[in-house]
């Protein structure tokens, strides 16, 4: 999809199920440290690998999740943190995304996420 390459984020993706926490005595939800670190890893990979100008139109995203194990996982639980990590680098805001494809794969030796994006 991209002429400039694929954004590659090393490691197993973090699920949004464990991303948000309530703080005792405080109002609202907060991003847990592990999720914040994963989102920052996505942003860092995007800054490193994305060689095109920011996309300003409607966007299509393909995400390939390479997990180290075959544990039961819902593939839709990873996309929110990935989308948030790409915002401001690949596109302005994740509200621009109109087309999403998510694929799950297994790679015991090299878990990672590969992301491609294009304007549609």
pTM exceeding the 0.85 threshold for the entire prediction: no
Answer for the pair 2, 49: CB distance below 8 angstroms, yes or no.
no
- What fold is seen in the domain 7-119? 60s Ribosomal Protein L30; Chain: A; (3.30.1330)
Per residue in 2-17, pLDDT (tens digit) is 344 699 999 988 776 5
The neighbouring-strand residues paired with 4 are: none
**Residues whose CB is less than 8 angstroms from the CB of residue 12 and which lie 6 or more positions away in sequence, other chains included:** 67, 68, 111
Q: What whole-number distance in Å separates Cα of residue 66 and Cα of residue 18?
A: 19
Per residue in 53-102, pLDDT (tens digit) is 999 999 999 999 999 887 777 787 788 889 999 999 999 999 999 999 99
Answer for the pair 97, 115: CB distance below 8 angstroms, yes or no.
no
Beta strand pairing call for 97-106 and 20-22: unpaired
């Amino acid at each position: 999809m991209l002429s400039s390459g694929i954004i590659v984020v090393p490691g197993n993706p973090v699920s949004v199920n464990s991303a948000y926490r309530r703080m005792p005595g405080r109002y609202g939800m907060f991003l847990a440290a592990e999720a914040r670190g994963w989102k920052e890893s996505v942003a860092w990979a995007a800054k490193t690998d994305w060689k095109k100008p920011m996309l300003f139109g409607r966007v299509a995203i393909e995400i390939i999740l390479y997990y180290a194990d075959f544990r039961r996982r819902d593939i839709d639980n990873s996309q929110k943190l990935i989308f948030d990590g790409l915002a401001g680098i690949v596109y302005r805001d994740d509200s621009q995304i109109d087309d999403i494809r998510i694929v799950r794969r297994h790679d015991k030796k090299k878990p990672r996420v590969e992301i491609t994006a294009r304007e549609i």
